[in-house]
Amino acid sequence: MERLYFDANATTPLHPDVYQTMEPYLKEEFGNPSSIHYWGQRARNAVEEARFQVANFLRCSPLEVVFTGSGTESNNLAILGLLSRLAEQRLSSLKNPGGHCIVSAIEHSSVLDPFRWLEGWGVEVTYIKADSNGRIDPDQVIHSIRAETFLVSLMLVNNETGVIQPVQEVGCVTRERRIPFHVDAIQGAGKIPVIPDELGADLLTLAPHKAEGPKGVGILYVRKGCKLSPLIRGGSLDGNLRGGTHNVPAIVGCGAAFARLDEHYIAEVGEKALLRDRFERSLEDRVGAEINGKGAQRVWNTSNVSFPAVAADVLLVRLDQAGLAASRGSACAAGSTKPSHVLLAMGLDRARVLSSIRFSFLPSITETQIDRAVDIIEECVKDIRNG
Amino acid sequence: MVEGTFSPERIVSVLDGIRKDPRKPRKVVAAMSGGVDSSVAAWLMKEAGVEVVGVTLRLRPCDDDLAVQRKACCGAEDSIHAKTTAGRIGISHYLLDYQDEFRARVLEDAWTEYTKGRTPNPCVLCNRFLKFGKLYTYACEIGAEGIVTGHYARVKPLSHGGMGLFRGVDPVKDQSYFLFALDRKVLETCWFPLGELTKGEVRDLARQIGLTNAEKPESQDACFGVPGEAFADTLRRVLGKEAIPGYFIDSLGRILGPHRGVHHYTLGQRRGLGVALGKRAYVSKIDPTTGTIVLSTEDEELHKSLLEATEVNWLDPSFQKEPFEGWVQVRYTQKPVAARVIPLSTDRIRVEFQERVRAITPGQAAVVYQGNELICGGWIC
C-alpha cells in the first residue's frame, strides 16, 4: 500500500541533503566540542558553523542562539529560566514569585504546562482566548498588561490550525514597555519569515525536525541583554544556558536544515497554498466538510477540517488503515481523546471539535497526492456515515 | 499451573480451528492490556490470517494522589506495554479513552452497590458495557467484523443455532463466569483463542514468539486497583465518596466496636475485622441504613440452599422456558454446585441447591452451567 503522510506538523522526514551533512558526525567526527584537542576542535567548529547558519536564518547574532534538546526544552527554558533569573536577582522569590504573565490559550502544551506550573507557585497568568477563526486579538493581549507583568508569550503559527498570530503587533508594545516577549515560532519556520528583530521577540523557539531537520535538538533565541538562568546545569554550558554534551550530528543537521529555508524557498513552497485550497474545496463539496480557521491568515501547509456527524478518532483510524496519516491535533496530546484545547479556545462547540482532524502537508506534496487523499477521505467518511 | 507443556501441534490446531471456522472474519479488533494473554490472543488471530487492529482501553481515572499516579495512573504504562507488543506482533495499535464511561457505568454503579450493603462485581459490568459493548460499536465503526480478547473461554455453535459460550479448557483459568452478561449479538463476533489452551501453554508460547515483555503480574483488578489498597477503598477515594460508618454487633445485638465503613466488608468475611470475639467471627449481615454489621461465630448460619437472581442474561435461550438441572457458581473462585434452576420470568431465576452453599452474597453473580456450556447468569438479590 502506498502511504500518504499528511502529518508534517507532528514531524517531517529528514531531508537527504541534511542527512549528508550529518553523516560524518555520526561516524568519524566523534569529538566532544568541549575538548581542547584536535577532535574536540573539529566538533566545536561544526557546532559553531551550525550556530552561524541558524543566526543567519534568524538574522541575529550567533551569540544569541542556544542549542537545547528539543523545542519543548526551549520553551521551558524561556519561561522557567526567566523566572529563575528573576529569583536570583531577588526580584522575586522562587517559593512565592508573585507577578503576572500573559499567554494565549492556544499555545502548545510545552508552553501552557510551564505556565500552569507557575500558577501553582503563585504567579498570576492571564490566558487569552482566540476568535472563532483561531486568531488572538493583539489588543486583548496589550490591554492585559499590568505593571507587574514580567513575561508575555505568543506563538507565531498555531500548530493545529496554521493560523498566523499577530506577534508583531504585540511585540511593538512589549518592546516599548520593556517586558520580555517569548515567541514559539516552531510551526512558522520555512513557511513565513522568522526574524526576532522584526517580530519584537526577546525569546524565540525553533525545532528543526518540523522543517526536514533532525529530532533531538531545539533552539532558543535569547536576545542580548535578556537574562535567563539555565534549567540544566553541569559541564560547559551552551551560551551559558544549557549543560550537557552537545548532540553534534543533530546540531549540524539543524544548521543545514535552516540554511535551506531562505526567502526563495519560502516563496516557492508557499505557492502550494493552491493545493491546500484544492484539498479544502474538494472536501467541502464532496463530504460537506467545514474548515476551521478559514477566515484567518494561515500558513500554506495546514488544514484543520471538521466532518459533521463523524467522530474524528474513528475517522483517523479508518484513514490510517487506508494509508493516510493525519492527526487530531498536537502529537504531544495524541492518545488522549480529549477535545482539542485550541479549537475549544476558538469557541467552537464540542461536537465540531470532536469531529475535527488536522491535515498538514510536507513541502514535497503533489496534486496527485492531494486528489488521492480526498478520495480516501470521502470513502472513509461515507462508510462511517452509512454506519 | 501447567508448565513446560508447550507443543507446536496444539498451537497449529488452534490456528487451524480459526482458519477453518465458517465465521472467520476479515478484520478484528484486539483488546490489548499489555499482558501475556491479550498479546498472545492477538498474535494467534494474526497468525491465522486475520487482519488485527490492536486497541487499548484507557479506563481508570487519573488519580489525584501523586504517589498513586506514579504507580498506576490511568494505565498509561499498560498502554505503552501494549503498543510495544503490537509493534512486535506487527499490527497497528490505537488508544481508546473510555475514562468517562468507566466512571459512570462501572465505578459509580459499584459504589452504589456497596452503599446498599451488597458486594459488586465490577468486572462483569466492565465487560458488558466497555470491553465488549463499546468495543463492538467501535469495531463496527472502523470496519472490523469481530473482537478478540485474551479471555480463557470458548465460543462454539449451539446445536439449535447461534453461538454459545463455553468454559476454557484450563480449569484453573476459565473466565467464562465474567462473561455471562455479554449481549448475544456481541458474543457471535467474539474470538477467545486462548480458550483452547492452558495458561502454561500460553506462557510458553509467549516466550517462543518473543512476547516476553508481556511478563506482567496477573491483571486481577489491575485495571483499577492500587497495590496495597483495598479495591473498595480506592473506589471511595477516587469517586470522593463518604464511607458509611457504624458498629459491629453480635447475633444478640451487643455492640462490639466501630468498623471502617460498610464498603470494607463482604458476607462471610473472616479476615481484617479487627474485633476479638474469643472465637472466629464472620460477617453474617450488612445493614447499610444503620451502618450495622452483624458478626457471627456460627459458620452454619451463613449456609443457604436457595437464591434468586435478577437481570438474568440468557446466553442459551432454549433453557428459559422450564426448570432444569444445572451447576451453579456464586463466586468466580467457588466450585460449581449442583442445583435445580427455575425460570420465574424472562429475567429472573430461582436456584435450589442440592447442598447448602456458604456466603451467597447479594451483588455477586450466580452463573449457571450445564456441562461446559454457560446457560445464563444473573445478579444475586
Same domain, B338 and B371: yes
Please give the residue of chain A at the shortest CA–CA distance from B140.
A387
C-alpha B152: how far from chain center: 11
Question: In B, which residues are within 8 Å of A336 by CB distance?
Answer: 95, 97
Q: Is the pLDDT of residue B55 over 60?
A: yes
Start-to-end CA distance of chain A, whole Å, equals 25
Mean pLDDT of the region B36-40:
94
Q: What is the pLDDT of residue B1?
A: 42
Average pLDDT, chain A: 94
pTM of the predicted structure, to 2 decimals: 0.82
- What's the distance, Cα to Cα, between the start and end of chain B in Å? 35
pLDDT for res B126? 87
Q: Do B83 and B173 share a domain, yes or no?
A: yes
Residue ranges with strand state E in chain A: 4-5, 65-68, 100-104, 124-128, 149-153, 181-184, 203-206, 218-222, 290-292, 302-306, 324-325, 356-360
Task: Please report the residues numbered 11 through 30 in chain A whose beta carbons come closer than 8 angstroms to any beta carbon of chain B.
Answer: none
pLDDT 10s digits, A289-329:
999 999 999 999 999 999 999 999 899 999 999 999 999 87
In angstroms, what separates the C-alpha of B76 from chain A's closest C-alpha? Answer: 10
Is B219 a domain residue? no
Judgement on whether residues B147 and B115 belong to the same structural domain of the protein: yes
DSSP string, A175-200: HHHT--EEEE-TTTTTTS---HHHHT
With respect to residue B230, please indicate whether it lies within any of the assigned structural domains.
no
Verify that B261 and B310 share a domain, yes or no: no
pLDDT digits over B359-375, tens only? 899 999 999 999 999 99
CA distance A200 to B161: 75
| A313 Cα to chain B: minimum distance (Å) | 9
| Residues of chain B neighbouring A338 (CB-CB closer than 8 A) | 97
Q: Looking at B282, B297, B312, which one is the last position of a domain? A: B297
- At B2, the pLDDT band (50, 70, 90 cuts) reads very low
Q: A318, B140: Cβ pair inside 8 Å?
A: no
Residues in chain B: 381
User: Would you state the pLDDT for residue A332?
Assistant: 55
Query: What ipTM goes with this model?
Result: 0.73
- B110 within a domain of the structure (yes/no): yes
Mean pLDDT, rounded, for A208-224: 97
pLDDT in tens, B337-357: 999 999 999 999 999 999 999
Alpha helices by DSSP H, chain B:
8-20, 36-47, 66-72, 76-89, 99-101, 108-115, 122-126, 135-141, 184-187, 199-208, 231-239
Identity of the residue in A313, A318, A338 whose CB atom sits nearest the CB atom of B143: A318
Domains (ranges, CATH) in chain A? 4-12+267-385 (3.90.1150.10), 16-262 (3.40.640.10)
> Is B99 found in the same domain as B181?
yes
Domain co-membership, B372 together with B349: yes
Please give the backbone phi and psi of residue B318, each rounded to the nearest 5 degrees, phi first: -65, -15
> Confidence class of residue B215 from pLDDT cuts 50, 70 and 90?
low
What is the domain range of residue B248?
243-297
Q: What is the pLDDT of residues B294-313, one digit of tens each?
A: 998 888 888 899 999 999 99
Last residue of a domain, one of B277, B297, B317: B297
3-state secondary structure of B332: coil
- Comparing alpha-carbon positions, the chain A residue that sits nearest to B74 is A336
**Judgement on whether residues B25 and B142 belong to the same structural domain of the protein:** yes
Structure confidence by residue, pLDDT tens digits, A23-82: 999 999 999 999 989 999 999 999 999 999 999 999 999 999 999 999 999 999 999 999
Q: What is the pLDDT of residue A88?
A: 83
Is pLDDT of A356 > 70?
A: yes
Question: Is it the case that residue A286 has pLDDT exceeding 80?
Answer: yes
Could you tell me the CATH number of the domain that includes residue B340? Answer: 2.40.30.10
pLDDT value for A166: 98
Which position has the higher pLDDT, A3 or B82? A3
B76: pLDDT strictly greater than 80: no
Residue B136 falls inside a structural domain: yes
| Catalytic (active site) residue A101 | no
Q: Are residues B152 and B256 in the same domain?
A: no
Same domain (yes/no): B193, B267: no
Nearest-5° Cα angle at A206, A205 to A207: 135
Is B221 domain-assigned? no
Looking at residues A116-121, what average pLDDT do you find?
91
CATH assignment of the domain containing B290: 2.30.30
Looking at the complex, does the CB of residue B158 fall below 8 Å from at least one CB of chain A?
A: no
Which one of A1, A117, A310, A314 would you mutate to disrupt binding with B, by most B Cβ within 10 Å of its Cβ?
A314
| CATH number of residue B97's parent domain | 3.40.50.620
Instruction: Assess whether B193 and B104 both reside in one domain.
Output: yes
pLDDT tens string B133-151: 999 999 999 999 999 999 9
For residues B152 and B200, membership in a common domain is answered with: yes
Is any Cβ of chain B less than 8 angstroms from the Cβ of A337? yes
Nearest alpha carbon to residue A326 among A358, A355, A293, A354 = A358
- Contacts within 8 Å (CB) and 24+ apart, A230-233: A230/A77, A230/A81, A231/A73, A231/A76, A231/A77, A231/A80, A231/A81, A231/A84, A232/A73
Which of B271, B297, B323 lies at the terminal end of a domain, its last residue?
A: B297
Amino acid present at A256: A
Number of domains in chain B: 3
B335, B269: one domain: no
CA distance A304 to A289: 10
Beta bridge partners of B365: B379
Q: Higher model confidence: residue B270 or residue A246?
A: A246
